[in-house]
């Protein structure tokens, strides 16, 4: 597992360029530090499949302070956890996000359980999608839930499913939610300097655009690249139970295509 690219230098340069442009062009956006951004990308790249079939294109991670990032994740003493990045960030690929036992010193650590449901739907080939192994309040212990999550991430990678955020900086979790135009500008800058190259290298068979800000900003760009895409709502959007179920089934259909 892990990101491998002989031209890794381009990535560091692209990230720095995108980050600096966002800081200069959107001074009102309270972005997290470059160190946090790089830690987020380290977690994400660890789970990059050898061959990307379905790219899930989300909006951003959640704002993580430098103090929060300094926490070293306390993984269980299982062989399976060896090699995982250990810096804490508020990203679903970071197993400590939403799991207090792994990051006991992080006070605001709710996690994004909605994305674990999306991941479960993407990995499932059954009409009855089982979310319980990855959610709190279930029958399993914390250690078992962590192993379930780890195995789910491995299954996603094996199926060629990869989640990438359109903005390299956090757009949520640091004060009031930025206006749509601010979020779209951060996505556009990230895309122009870095994400578009990442997508070209990954060469996915299809892309799932998650949320209106991502869709409105990137659908024409993906169309110009000739990459098929589907549009899906933000997982936090208010929907009826039937709409939520249909959305999960749509993720399942998209991710199980050859």
- The rounded distance, in Å, linking the Cα atoms of 242 and 223 is 30
Ranges of each domain in the chain: 8-255
* Strand intervals (E) in 173-257: 206-210, 229-232
State the DSSP H helix or E strand holding residue 21, giving kind and residue range, or none if neither.
helix 8-25
- The rounded distance, in Å, linking the Cα atoms of 89 and 170 is 11
Strands 161-165 and 206-210: unpaired
Domain 8-255 class, CATH top level: alpha beta
> What count of Cα atoms within 13 Å lies in the side-chain half-sphere of residue 59?
27
- Residue 154: phi and psi, rounded to 5, are -65, -40
Asked if 183 and 153 count as a contact pair (C-beta separation under 8 A), the reply is: no
Q: What is the pLDDT of residue 252?
A: 96
Cα torsion 224, 226, 228, 234: sign: negative
Q: What is the pLDDT of residues 50-72, one digit of tens each?
A: 999 999 999 999 999 999 999 99
User: Which residues of the chain are modeled with pLDDT < 50?
Assistant: 2-6
Q: What is the pLDDT of residue 4?
A: 46
Q: What is the pLDDT of residue 7?
A: 59
- The rounded distance, in Å, linking the Cα atoms of 258 and 250 is 15
CA neighbor of 114 nearest in space, from 101, 102, 128, 97: 97
């Amino acid at each position: 597992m892990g990101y491998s690219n002989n031209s890794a230098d381009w990535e560091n340069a692209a990230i720095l360029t995108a980050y600096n442009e966002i800081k200069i062009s959107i001074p009102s956006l309270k972005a997290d530090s470059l160190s946090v951004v790089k830690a987020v990308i380290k977690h994400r790249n660890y789970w990059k499949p050898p061959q990307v079939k379905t790219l899930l294109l989300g909006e951003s991670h959640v704002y993580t302070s430098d103090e929060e990032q300094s926490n070293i994740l306390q993984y269980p003493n299982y062989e399976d956890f060896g090699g995982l990045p250990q810096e804490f960030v508020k990203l679903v690929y970071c197993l400590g996000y939403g799991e207090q036992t792994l990051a006991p010193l992080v006070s605001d650590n709710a996690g994004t359980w909605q994305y674990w449901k999306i991941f479960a739907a993407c990995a499932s080939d059954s009409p009855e999608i089982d979310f319980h192994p990855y959610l709190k309040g279930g029958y399993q212990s914390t250690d078992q839930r962590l192993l379930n999550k780890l195995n789910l991430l491995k299954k996603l990678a094996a199926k060629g499913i990869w989640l990438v955020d359109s903005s390299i900086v956090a757009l949520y979790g640091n004060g009031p939610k930025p206006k749509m135009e601010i979020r779209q500008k951060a996505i556009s800058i990230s895309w122009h300097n870095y994400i578009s190259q990442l997508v070209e290298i990954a060469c996915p068979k299809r892309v799932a655009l998650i949320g209106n800000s991502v869709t409105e900003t990137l659908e024409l760009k993906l169309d110009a690249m000739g990459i098929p895409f589907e549009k899906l709502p933000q997982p936090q959007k208010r929907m009826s139970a039937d709409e939520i179920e249909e959305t999960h089934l749509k993720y399942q259909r998209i991710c199980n295509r050859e």
